[in-house]
Amino acid sequence: MSMNTTEIYDNNGVYALDSPLSKRIKFWLIIICESSSIPCYLFIIYQYLYQKKLRKALHNHALMVKLCINFVVLTIDLSMHLSFLRLGYVFPSTPGACLLWQLVDYGFWFGDIVLTSWMSIERYILIFYSHLVKTPYRCMFIHYVPLIFFSLYCPVVYIYLIFFDPVPHKYDYSFILCGGPYYYLDIAAWLIWYESLVHYVIPIFITVILSGAMIIRVLIRKYRLRQTGRWNKYRKMLIQFICISVIYIFDLPYVIVTI
């Protein structure tokens, strides 16, 4: 196992110098978390696909897509990071592996953030404006069309940027993500702002703000208006999403700094 000191560029191009000890700690933390997470992901995905009640519930559809996206990130992105930490270079050292890693690290990672923001909007609709999805026509345009769009938007955008952008690809297997993604070498300033705001800052703010709004509104309805029946109906849906969105609260300090 090669654990020599190596120069690394993180996803934002920030220079870092990893000592052998820090590399070992990162390696074992990631491998322990990944090896324990994969069976959990497979079990949960199986349950959602196998149980008809879970599979047909509208509020579970976006969650199932989110689970699949995160499973791809877990198995490909983290595995490539593990390989890099162990060997000190990208393996397999091929252009295809580099481009795939960049796609998952950017397209699927940003895709998960954007999809989660849509989940917060959708749950707000399902809890407080459920009449909007009562008919098949409304359900199609309020539930399925946005779900398809927000699930595919980031992966499709980054497939173009990473695979088809005309900027020359200079593969350096001694750096994380092979020194890419390469579209950053020749990109308009407004596109950098667009990526930062639309793919990261705004979705996280939407997720956190709507999560708080849902909690406050449900508590008001439960205790002031005595709508305990409605609370019991949507309690699991709300608790489920709060557990997911809490993770993004920890991103807020970084998001605020990057604005």
List alpha helices for 10-50, DSSP H.
20-50
Tokens 């079990």 belong to: 43
Q: Does the pLDDT value for residue 15 go beyond 80?
A: no
Hey, where are the domains in the chain? 6-187
pLDDT score recorded for residue 158: 97
Overall average pLDDT of the 49-56 stretch: 90
Distances in whole angstroms, Cα of residue 241 to Cα of each of 18, 32, 117, 206, 234: 36, 26, 11, 13, 11
Looking at residue 7, its pLDDT comes to 44
Name the range with the highest mean pLDDT among 149-163, 179-193, 208-222, 232-246: 149-163
- Mean of the pLDDT values across residues 76-83? 93
Higher pLDDT pick, 10 / 165: 165
When pLDDT is averaged across residues 159-165 and rounded to a whole number, the result is: 94
Report pLDDT for 74: 94
- CA dist list (Å): 92 to 63, 81, 112, 177, 243: 32, 12, 26, 12, 36
Question: What pLDDT shows up at residue 243?
Answer: 79
Percentage, residues of the chain above pLDDT 70: 86
pLDDT at 62 over 60: yes
Listing DSSP states for 193-206 in one string gives HHHHIIIIIHHHHH
CATH topology of domain 6-187: Rhopdopsin 7-helix transmembrane proteins (1.20.1070)
- Mean pLDDT across the chain: 85
Please tell me the pTM assigned to this model: 0.86
Q: What is the pLDDT of residue 159?
A: 97
